[in-house]
Amino acid sequence: MPTVFEPKLISGNANLPLAKAVARRMSMHRGVNVGLVEARVERFNDGEIFVEVFENVRGEDMFIIQPTSNPANDNLMELLIISDALRRSSASRITAVIPYFGYARQDRRTKARTPISAKLVANMLIEAGIERILTMDLHAAQIQGFFDIPVDNLYASPIFALDIQAQFSDLSKVTVVSPDVGGVARARELAQRIGCGLAIVDKRRNKPGEIAEMTVIGDVEGQTCIIVDDICDTAGTLCKAAEVLSEAGATEVHSYITHGVLSGPAVERITNSVMKSLVITDSIQATDPVKAAPNIRILPTAPMFAQAILNIWNGTSVSSLFETETLMPIYEGFYG
């Protein structure tokens, strides 16, 4: 088997800007050009996906960068077919870099006769020849147990902590808020990182999709509130939580969300809401309305993913990237 000199990256169509940014960061770290493997990923007239890899990948350590965001089914199939093409081309190892793991919200049976789609997706990825998963902020941490291969789940909270420390001078007047009881652990972890208080917005529903009541647990009067969550889809709950916090005496409300799905009326709701800003990552490629929204800001994840890929390739620790201090030099150009 030939010696592997550099990790090799390949991308589907889900988030090409992120894939190119990861390649640029890896080139900076390595001091040599690390580009995307030349390939074509296209669709026939009937919607079938076709992949052709133009470079020799025999014996190479391959990393496929492909979030399974909207359209989730197309992007998932691209990932599976790229993996199959690499496996049949004798790649040494195939790692799927999935910044946003679609179907993660279907991680359990909520009622009778329903699927566990996240487990099905895990089975499909393994059958396609993928030997390792690198992702960020899985909606449910137990999804890692759906795989019989290594799964590295990165966290956006160290990046959020760096940004919050750069944006807010007096952290004693900042309170981190979980928008529901289920997200308390995530909010507490960020609050501990930046050394500030914690509050919870407790919501009750009369029926699915309809919020009957929201209550703030904790004192937010005179505080700058930062709502933290992993996914923002239609933004209904997020905007309502911001209103409730403002009514409870919060001076400002900001939100930090890892995955900006932002479907349907989300951008319009956020633009018209009392939130001063919504900060998301580029795990999902931003649409033009998201880029144009005056109160939405996007944080880069390429530095973190580039370092994680290099650590996997080198066989060194990925968990070191869980610490804010470790990310400081990686994000030096962004936060001084």
The catalytic site residues sit at 203
List the Cα angle 228/233/239 in 5-degree steps: 60
Q: Is 234 annotated as a binding residue?
A: yes
Q: Is 254 annotated as a binding residue?
A: no
Going by C-alpha positions, the residue among 200, 156, 194 that lies closest to residue 173 is: 194
Task: For the sheet with 8-11, list strands across it.
Answer: 8-11, 61-65, 93-98, 132-136, 151-154
Q: Is 205 annotated as a binding residue?
A: yes
Alpha helix ranges (H) inside 31-88: 72-88
Q: Is 35 annotated as a binding residue?
A: no
Question: Is 92 exposed, middle or buried (CB count within 10 Å of its CB: 0-12, 13-18, 19+)?
Answer: middle
Whole-angstrom distance, CA of residue 191 vs CA of residue 173: 12
Q: Is 336 annotated as a binding residue?
A: no
Going by C-alpha positions, the residue among 161, 177, 101 that lies closest to residue 133 is: 101
Contact in structure between 248 and 221 (CB atoms under 8 Å): yes
Q: Is 93 annotated as a binding residue?
A: no
Q: Is 230 annotated as a binding residue?
A: no
Going by C-alpha positions, the residue among 75, 77, 83, 100 that lies closest to residue 14 is: 75
Q: Per the structure block, which two tokens stand in for 35?
A: 């580009």
DSSP state of 277: E
Contact in structure between 96 and 14 (CB atoms under 8 Å): no
Contact in structure between 131 and 151 (CB atoms under 8 Å): no
Q: Is 47 annotated as a binding residue?
A: yes
The residue assigned the tokens 């793991």 is: 101
Whole-angstrom distance, CA of residue 304 vs CA of residue 328: 10
Q: Is 264 annotated as a binding residue?
A: no
Q: Is 84 annotated as a binding residue?
A: no
Contact in structure between 313 and 7 (CB atoms under 8 Å): yes
Q: Is 301 annotated as a binding residue?
A: no
Q: Is 235 annotated as a binding residue?
A: yes
3-state secondary structure 95-140: EEEECCCCCCCCCCCCCCCCCCHHHHHHHHHHHCCCCEEEEECCCC
As annotated, the binding site includes: 46-48, 105-106, 139, 180, 205, 229, 233-237
As annotated, the binding site for Mg(2+) includes: 139, 180
As annotated, the binding site for D-ribose 5-phosphate includes: 205, 229, 233-237
